[in-house]
Structure 1
Amino acid sequence: MDLHVAIGGRGDRADRIYRQLRDAVLDGRLRRGERLPATRELAGRLQVSRATVSTAYERLTAEGYLAARVGAGTFVAYAAADPSPGPTRTQGAAQPSPAWRDLNDPLWVEPRPVAYDFSIGSPDPALFPLDAWRTSVAAELRGGTLRSASYGDPSGVERLREGIARHLGVARSVEAGPGDVLVTSGAQQAFDLLARVLLQPGDTVAVEDPGYPPVRQLFEMAGARVVPVPVDAYGLRVDLLPPARLVYVTPSHQFPLGGVLPLDRRVALLEWASRHDAVIIEDDYDSEYRFGARPLDPLQRLDADGRVVYVGTFSKTMLPALRLGFVVAPPALLAALRHAKRLTDWHNDTVTQRAMARLLDSGVFARHVRAATRVYEERHAVLVHEVGELLPDLELVPSAAGLHVAVLAPVAPVARQDASAGRFDGARVAERAAVAGVAVQPVSRFRRAEGADGVLLGFGGIRAAHIPDALRTLAEAIGRERVGDPAPPVR
């Protein structure tokens, strides 16, 4: 143990050592069973006599804080009943810049134990191919991946980039070779790198509304002027786009409503980008899990000018904890993105990259996605059917992909919008549902402008058999909210 003890100044050094070790035991920094340095070793570190340290140890032993074991050493014998969180510290004079103050994360909800979890954005960890992953990681460790002391390629391990390019070409018709791919720590780092190399303070960025809040916030932190653009049942309203340097879009499965951008709008978006010399970030959100016909070709496939940057992630198909994402970028951007990656975190964990490459090469990943899709398709079908039966007053937004669906409340006619008693309040419904044991998120949390409210129902974390009971409980929460009683506190 590297134990720090301060003995500067005058006075009884043995007493100072005693008090600091005692305080460390009492506040839980030194825990029961931990071995302390030998008296000779600690005396050498502190540059005091061994007798000084022995005096402190003997006193602590006599009072029951330490215990000496012949031939083994000196150990902490006392267990703090309520370990202290540490000393109270002042806020401090150092403050973040104004843009970073008072931020919130609409996607982050404090985990609470619930009976039914309709949270969005997470796959079912029970479906993760743990045995195959463990075998793949072990093979890399045996193969000597960690024996190199050098840093890796910021673009990512070549074998993984080859696997990603091959997989995207087969599964999504993306035109890419390994040299077009940059491995990132999830999709969010991809957006951060793109903001760094594409934007200057004051540039205009168009985003979908409702849309993905972390992306919007990231562009705002980069100093951009972020303009929300409405979406409809088919996705982004391209006809409402303002002149901009950059547009962020989720054409395959609009987040959070689920619409699919039709071909005519995709073409119109590419034409808009050409007119305004803009870049398109195509977030192929949840494209791996589809329950209907083959998806339309991605924007990247239709792009003839090199204006589309394709972003994807393994967070839904594998696990978010792996922090594996990727960018497929036009050649003109790749050098800058590579430098940006090197300057932020240099490169992703090499063992994880190589292990993922093994799963792609062996076909394990493709088989896992097919098997998981069958499970999610069943849950999706049950959810769609039961929403129609149990939530008849809400409108389910059609969606043939992803791990969640949106249900919206009808928008009241203009003449009645002043009568708030009948309005659907998704935030209050979510609070009531949480008390009843159902986790949902309101659509309003993802909007900047006014629009239809509702709730999002994720099915990554709930079994098909539990969906009917979960929706009955949610329906009761919605019914109580419409009665108008005050919402109970969430515990």
Structure 2
Amino acid sequence: MDYALLMSNFARQAGRKLTQQDLLYESLRKAILDGDIGRGTQLVSTRALAEQLGIARNSVLYAYERLNEEGFITASRHGSWVNRVGAANPVPAAGRSDANGAGLSRRALALPPRRSASSAGHGFRPGVPALDEFPLAQWRIALERAWRYTDARDLGYGDSAGHPALRRAIAQYVRVSRGVRCTAEQVFVTDGTQASLDLCARMLADVGDSVWIENPGYNGARVAFLAAGLDLVPMHVDAAGMVSTPADWQRTPPRLVYLTPSHQYPLGSVLSLERRSALIEHARANGAWIIEDDYDSELRHSGPPLPSIQGLVADAPVVYLGTFSKTMFPALRIAFMVVPPWLAADTAVALGSLARQGRVADQLALADFIESGRYARHLRRMRRVYQQRRAALVEAIGRHMAGLVTVSADAGGMHLSVRLDVPVNDVAVSDAAREQGLHVSPLSIYCLRAEDAARYNGFLLGYAEIVPQHADALVARLARVIRGLM
């Protein structure tokens, strides 16, 4: 294997500047995934490869360590070997296949052609993580290990609260990373945030009760609460999060208060500590519940994640919601709730009557992923990826859309919001952009009342799927759409 040629070809195709260690890592990763370096191949020693390429040995060690962490290779003191993660089986000749069909091509199976996640034509979809950067090989290894420890007893319906191993792992993780006060018995695994919201609405409120909801706010919460027959009360949001006053508590006292305090959806503001404390105090006094949706707080780009509302005081009337759809991948369909100790027994009964747990191997694999530290390493890497992708998008907006929009100041998560500075309607722009293959979410659709829509004329732009070298062309295309409507 000519590693210098491998790196040169990758650098030319990637069209971006990389450090020597990143270039070596990326080129080896691609070669393994493409099957150019097959399973069982022993890689050149770090010392020999450093001499061959004329680079520092630490650069080679860095590349090999990352490949090992992500499951692409197995490293020992005797050498490094490639794991089975690439194209292990060649496509057979036309009209032929092996005995079990493992070599069939995608065309023979009538599957759509493969497309890279970054160029699939979805543009600026919010809420979808950078699936092209997910450590799939590492996850496969975790799944294989989980299946090895699964027996016939695990093939039926599982504990409706979730597998004990995963509940323990989540409890430990949120205690350390988010300051959540809990034990494993307070953690309940669900099939997604929407399922968690539905359970909260049914368990904590009665038909006709009021629920405060951020305006603009998350449409999924709106749907869940309306389906439960609750009365939605839109609450204004400013740079310090949801605005509520003592008069609001007297005039329209809520049974539930739904918040996205660490990264308000969709505007990105952070709820101030003063408002967090006031909400807990008023909720206690009025017998209300706070639902804290912490959907992507782990992806804060500067500084550590903000502490949760739930952890501010020991007896806070808060149900804390988290999800792995943003930090892992949406198809995993695993989220969780953390309830106060006095609500745990009732939650177990409610879940037992409404849901049946399955997918034991997925839950065991995720528990292993968290406890081994691989989840934390994945998050650290994704923060860097999203920081770079956001920076590239903001730079492209400044280059092509100066005078057309104003960019929000938030620096976290996987999306940013922009306000239109020209007299065009955000829904009209979204419709026109869709015809150009761009998914642009209008800010106005996140408002509960029509009279508020005009105040939020802009867009929610997701950047997780947009690799930096594609940002300029996508933004230029969106700018042309906006100017075409002026």
State TM-score, norm by structure 2. 0.71
After TM superposition, give the deviation of residue 388 of structure 1 in Å: 2.8
- Of the three residues 367, 379, 397, the one matched with 2:408 is 397
Whole-Å Cα distance in 2 between the matches of residues 297 and 143 of structure 1?
35
Map of 2:65 onto structure 1 = none
| Secondary structure at 1:248 match in 2 | strand
- Of the three residues 311, 315, 329, the one matched with 2:339 is 329
- Of the three residues 183, 204, 213, the one matched with 2:219 is 213
After TM superposition, give the deviation of residue 285 of structure 1 in Å: 2.1
- Of the three residues 479, 483, 486, the one matched with 2:483 is 479
Check the 8 A contact 1:146/1:351 in 2, yes or no.
no
Whole-Å Cα distance in 2 between the matches of residues 452 and 431 of structure 1?
17
Whole-Å Cα distance in 1 between the matches of residues 327 and 477 of structure 2?
29
Whole-Å Cα distance in 2 between the matches of residues 115 and 149 of structure 1?
39
| Secondary structure at 2:262 match in 1 | coil
Map of 1:292 onto structure 2 = 302
- Of the three residues 444, 452, 468, the one matched with 1:464 is 468
Whole-Å Cα distance in 1 between the matches of residues 429 and 187 of structure 2?
43
| Secondary structure at 2:297 match in 1 | coil
| Secondary structure at 2:234 match in 1 | strand
After TM superposition, give the deviation of residue 379 of structure 1 in Å: 0.5
Deviates more, 1:322-331 or 1:165-174: 165-174
Map of 2:174 onto structure 1 = 168
CA deviation vs aligned residue, 1:219-263 (integer Å, no higher than 9, x gap): 111111111111112221122563100000000000001001111
| Secondary structure at 1:316 match in 2 | coil
Map of 1:45 onto structure 2 = none
After the TM superposition, list the runs of 4 or more consecutive aligned residues in structure 1 that deviate by more than 4 angstroms: none
After TM superposition, give the deviation of residue 150 of structure 1 in Å: 4.7
Whole-Å Cα distance in 2 between the matches of residues 145 and 156 of structure 1?
17
CA deviation vs aligned residue, 1:27-74 (integer Å, no higher than 9, x gap): xxxxxxxxxxxxxxxxxxxxxxxxxxxxxxxxxxxxxxxxxxxxxxxx
After TM superposition, give the deviation of residue 344 of structure 1 in Å: 2.0
| Secondary structure at 2:189 match in 1 | strand
Check the 8 A contact 1:157/1:350 in 2, yes or no.
yes
Whole-Å Cα distance in 1 between the matches of residues 258 and 394 of structure 2?
29
Check the 8 A contact 2:177/2:305 in 1, yes or no.
no
1:438 to 1:132, Cα distance in 2 relative to 1, 3 A: same
How do 1:351-366 and structure 2 match up within 5 A?
Answer: 351-366=361-376
Whole-Å Cα distance in 2 between the matches of residues 459 and 274 of structure 1?
39
How do 1:217-296 and structure 2 match up within 5 A?
Answer: 217-239=223-245, 240=248, 242-296=252-306
After TM superposition, give the deviation of residue 400 of structure 1 in Å: 1.7
CA deviation vs aligned residue, 1:114-150 (integer Å, no higher than 9, x gap): 6461001111211222112111111222223444455
| Secondary structure at 1:261 match in 2 | coil
1:221 to 1:463, Cα distance in 2 relative to 1, 3 A: same
Whole-Å Cα distance in 2 between the matches of residues 424 and 286 of structure 1?
31
Question: Quick one: which amino acid aligns to residue 195 of structure 1?
Answer: A
State TM-score, norm by structure 1. 0.70
Q: Kindly name which structure, 1 or 2, has the bigger radius of gyration based on alpha carbons.
A: 1
Unaligned runs of 5+ in 1: 1-110, 411-421, 483-491
| Secondary structure at 2:362 match in 1 | helix
Map of 1:27 onto structure 2 = none
Whole-Å Cα distance in 2 between the matches of residues 177 and 440 of structure 1?
41
Whole-Å Cα distance in 2 between the matches of residues 129 and 344 of structure 1?
33
CA RMSD of the aligned region, Å?
A: 1.8
Deviates more, 1:438-447 or 1:291-300: 291-300
How do 1:58-207 and structure 2 match up within 5 A?
Answer: 115=121, 117-148=123-154, 150-207=156-213
Map of 1:437 onto structure 2 = 437
Check the 8 A contact 2:415/2:463 in 1, yes or no.
yes
Check the 8 A contact 1:145/1:351 in 2, yes or no.
no
Percent identity for Structure 1 against Structure 2: 40
Check the 8 A contact 2:259/2:293 in 1, yes or no.
yes
Check the 8 A contact 2:154/2:360 in 1, yes or no.
no
Whole-Å Cα distance in 1 between the matches of residues 424 and 234 of structure 2?
23
1:300 to 1:348, Cα distance in 2 relative to 1, 3 A: farther
| Secondary structure at 2:203 match in 1 | helix
1:407 to 1:140, Cα distance in 2 relative to 1, 3 A: same
Question: Quick one: which amino acid aligns to residue 152 of structure 1?
Answer: G
Deviates more, 1:344-353 or 1:244-253: 344-353
Question: Quick one: which amino acid aligns to residue 420 of structure 2?
Answer: A
Check the 8 A contact 1:251/1:282 in 2, yes or no.
yes
Matched length: 360
Question: Quick one: which amino acid aligns to residue 398 of structure 1?
Answer: A
CA deviation vs aligned residue, 1:419-442 (integer Å, no higher than 9, x gap): xxx633111101111222322111
